[in-house]
Amino acid sequence: MKVGAVIVKKDGFNFSISKDELLNKILLILIKSYKEGLDVIVFPGLFGCLFENDRDYIEKILRMSINFKNIAICPGSYFENAENKTYHSSCIIQNGRILLRQRQLYLAKWEKDLGLSRGENISFVNLKGFKIALLISTDTFYPQVSRYIAMSGADLVLSPVSIYGKTFSYQMSALWQNVQQNLFFGVESGLKGNFDGKDFYSLSIIHAPLEMTERENGILEIERNNYSSIIMAQLDNEKRKEAIKKFNVLSHLNTKLYEDIFR
């Protein structure tokens, strides 16, 4: 499976751009994803918050996805309004259909201050032999979420993130650690910019177990100081499973402890 994560350059995105400008940026990225033969593309956290209505944003992406039938699109995260509550949510879209919906389970202080509500469940979808889950922003800092995902048999986590702050130092201790502790792949697309008066700085990184990376650093690809709009990597699930056999950390855990935590 070939995957990609969208890069947002520092000061390269702000919430004052028009909806049409944002949709045009998304279209150009989807065209590039198609040309590169990507199976999955992940957009950054909060990308859909430029739209006042989350349904409007998702409807636009659904229509756009019909022209890119073979690409599974995670359109970043957005604020979902449902039943008089607001959630920090994401989804996976392909060929005009929503394959998976996910609400963030835990909230950072800035999210609580906005009055957001917590999700309750974790969902999965199977694509091209990979069992996939979504891990949104703040949930990357709660190890029980990643552990439940791993113990449910997930091979790949898609993670649209928006990490509060002006550096990415905290981010490296979040999804990177979760991948090494749970041995799934992780595709992380990070937002850089200002939203609601708050600065966010997150890198886009494609993670894998240490044994699968050339420098044994757990990073298949990471954004660099160039003009690229996407980072890409080929994921070999059979190779990942072989790596797990050498050091299966999950086999020593109390699996029953996690069985009902997010159902």
Please give the Cα distance from 46 to 195 (Å, whole number): 8
Domain count, the chain: 1
250 domain residue, yes or no: yes
Q: Residues in the chain with pLDDT < 70?
A: 11-14, 168-173, 249-263
15 domain residue, yes or no: yes
Please give the Cα distance from 52 to 50 (Å, whole number): 6
* CATH number of 172's domain: 3.60.110.10
Residue closest to 46 by CA, chosen among 10, 80, 92: 80
Q: CA 138, 142, 144, 149: dihedral to nearest 10 degrees? A: 30
Sign (positive/negative) of CA torsion 119, 98, 156, 10? Answer: negative
CB atoms within 10 A of CB 95: 15
Q: Find the domain containing 33 and state its range.
A: 2-258
Q: What is the pLDDT of residues 221-230, one digit of tens each?
A: 999 877 789 9
Provide the pLDDT for residue 174: 87
Q: CA 190, 195, 197, 201: dihedral to nearest 10 degrees? A: 10
Please give the Cα distance from 263 to 222 (Å, whole number): 33
11 domain residue, yes or no: yes
Residue 166 CB contacts under 8 Å (≥ 6 apart), including other chains: 199, 201
| Long-range contact set of residues 220-223: C-beta below 8 Å, sequence gap at least 24 | 221/5, 223/7
Provide the pLDDT for residue 216: 84
Q: What is the separation, in whole angstroms, between the first and last Cα of the chain?
A: 28
102: phi > 0 → left, psi -120 to 50 → alpha, else beta; which?
beta
118: phi > 0 → left, psi -120 to 50 → alpha, else beta; which?
beta
Provide the pLDDT for residue 226: 73
263 domain residue, yes or no: no
Q: What is the pLDDT of residues 7-56, one digit of tens each?
A: 998 766 667 788 898 899 999 999 999 999 999 999 999 999 988 889 99
182 domain residue, yes or no: yes
Please give the Cα distance from 95 to 99 (Å, whole number): 10
